[in-house]
Amino acid sequence: MLTFRNQFVMMLAVVCVACAQLGLPTAETFNEKLAVGYGSVTQVRETATQLLTAKKISADDAQNVLTATDVARTGLDTARKIHATDPKAGESKLESIKVALTALTAYLASRGGT
């Protein structure tokens, strides 16, 4: 049986490949990327709620997702603050949050989320 971490990593890889193949448009500026990040936090939370209601994830999984999105939102806030004085560091922080949100999205997709 695959652990949550292994499922998470596998789905992250699948999503990355799929996005690259589809040629999905990407945000260009820091502020656009930040807005996408906040939107992703909301989307992940809503998807987790739907999956919990449909009993496709456990209450523990839903709580873990909620906690991860809280951390991601705090990270986005931090990236915005850092970017004001050190744009490269702010971009780097933002990119790390994007990776985490992509992985959360992939995990929820593996559980039946859209």
20-24 mean pLDDT: 43
Block residue for tokens 């999984």: 61
Q: Is the distance from CB of 68 to CB of 26 less than 8 angstroms?
A: no
- Report the distance separating Cα 105 and Cα 40, nearest Å: 8
Tally of domains in the chain: 1
Q: CB burial class (10 A; 0-12, 13-18, 19+) of residue 1?
A: exposed
Amino acid 92: pLDDT:
95
Between 72 and 24, whose confidence is greater? 72
Reply yes or no on whether the pLDDT at 32 is more than 80: yes
Reply yes or no on whether the pLDDT at 75 is more than 60: yes
Domain containing 42 equals 4-110
Average pLDDT in the chain: 83
pTM: 0.75
Question: In the structure encoding, which two tokens stand for residue 49, read together?
Answer: 């709620």
Q: Kindly state the DSSP code that residue 101 receives in the 8-state scheme.
A: H
Reply yes or no on whether the pLDDT at 100 is more than 80: yes
